[in-house]
Amino acid sequence: MRILYVVGTRPNFVKTAPVIGALRARHPEGRHAIVHTGQHYDRLMSEVILEELGVPAPDHMLEVGSGSHAAQTARTMERLEPVLLDESPDLVMVPGDVNSTLAAALTAVKMGIPVAHIESGLRSFDMTMPEEVNRIVADRFAEWLFLHSDEAVENLRAEGIPDERMQMVGNTMIDTLVALEDRFRTAGSAARLGLEPGSYLLVTLHRPALVDGPLLGETVAQLASLSRQMPVVFPVHPRTRKMMEGLEPDAPGLHLIDPLGYLDFLSLIADAGAVLTDSGGIQEETTYLGVPCFTLRDNTERPVTIRAGTNTLLGLDPAAITRIPSALAERPSETPEPPPLWDGHASERIAEILA
């Protein structure tokens, strides 16, 4: 069995690492080639995370870097094609919904190589999100669709995708979390930042709809104001850092810090009083950990995190940040159970199915 895994961004590594581990364990004699497209390339966004997750050094580095959507996608396709010719895999595995996912799925399918899509079937129904386009294309062309929530089945059926291609396996991002839980639970990252566990709001924001325009300044002003009531810690994604130049407010309770490694970040989520985010993966991680999450978007492709989890959609509205303290005071005391199959064994199910 020859499998080629294509990853490019921080969340891709988290979703794919346990799948590589499970398939290697099951087929030690097989070829397991890892391609890193280089969509994320800063040490803090790439090497640090890969090392922590125990992902072997990639076999191929495409070094595509940043660019417009067309340029980044085209560069990935152009550089991946010779690798696929050379490796001649039986299967190309792509995770998530980033530009690297789209590029790899398209390149492989045009070469007649079967594609497997991890985290298939999520839909925000918002075509202005680049990720929505990427997911739809990957799902349309992948032969193996690995699903993590019931709503994915309905979404895919509505697009005419036959049930035979769908495999409900659970959440591979949660596999990584479960595997490293002992380590991040003892990492003590909040204390190192001088923060009391349970007291602070952890923030991540990076989506173009929020950070590439005037909403970013309004959001930072709201966070500065909230930080007088509760400490706010905000590891800033490189995209957001660029857009934030000149916006850093003078607010001692607002800690703007560099992106963190996986263990430090999960330690901060686990100990947070609440999380404010526009990320998809963090809506899932907070759901699993039972930490209140507020999502600063108009929609989510992960409604399961609202229905069965701890997520609240605030809308794409910085003023809604003022509602966080009262929402926390009113929230029910019981923590819901994680959704079915978010149990740390999704990757083993994938390996079983492919066997």
DSSP state, residue 249: -
47's tokens: 């090497």
Q: Is 285 helix (H, G, I), strand (E, B) or coil?
A: helix
> From the candidates 32, 36, 148, 206, which is the catalytic residue?
206
Provide the residue count of the chain. 355
Q: How far is the CB of 181 from ligand UD1 (least distance, A)?
A: 22
Q: How many residues bind ligand UD1 (CB under 6 A)?
A: 19
Residue 2 interacting with ligand UD1 (CB under 6 A): no
Q: Which of 13, 41, 200, 342 binds ligand UD1 (CB under 6 A)?
A: 41
Residue 9 interacting with ligand UD1 (CB under 6 A): yes
Residue 124 interacting with ligand UD1 (CB under 6 A): no
Residue 265 interacting with ligand UD1 (CB under 6 A): no
Residue 283 interacting with ligand UD1 (CB under 6 A): no
> Does 32 qualify as catalytic in the annotation?
no
Q: Which is nearer to ligand UD1, 79 or 206 (CB)?
A: 206
Residue 302 interacting with ligand UD1 (CB under 6 A): no
Residue 349 interacting with ligand UD1 (CB under 6 A): no
Q: Strand order in 91-95's β-sheet?
A: 60-61, 31-36, 2-7, 91-95, 115-120, 144-147, 166-168
How far is residue 58's CA from residue 332's CA, in Å, rounded to a whole number? 45
How far is residue 103's CA from residue 71's CA, in Å, rounded to a whole number? 11
Q: Which of 3, 5, 11, 105 binds ligand UD1 (CB under 6 A)?
A: 11
Own/partner contacts of 256-261, CB < 8 Å, gap of 24 or more, are 257/193, 257/233, 258/44, 259/10, 259/42, 259/44, 259/45, 259/235, 260/44, 260/189, 260/235, 261/44, 261/48, 261/49, 261/52
How far is residue 10's CA from residue 282's CA, in Å, rounded to a whole number? 12
Q: How far is the CB of 98 from ligand UD1 (least distance, A)?
A: 3
Q: Which is nearer to ligand UD1, 8 or 273 (CB)?
A: 8
Residue 45 interacting with ligand UD1 (CB under 6 A): yes
204-263: contacts with ligand UD1 (CB under 6 A): 206, 237-239, 242
Q: Which residues bind ligand UD1 (CB under 6 A)?
A: 9-11, 39-42, 45, 66, 97-99, 130-131, 206, 237-239, 242
Instruction: Give the catalytic positions in this structure.
Output: 206
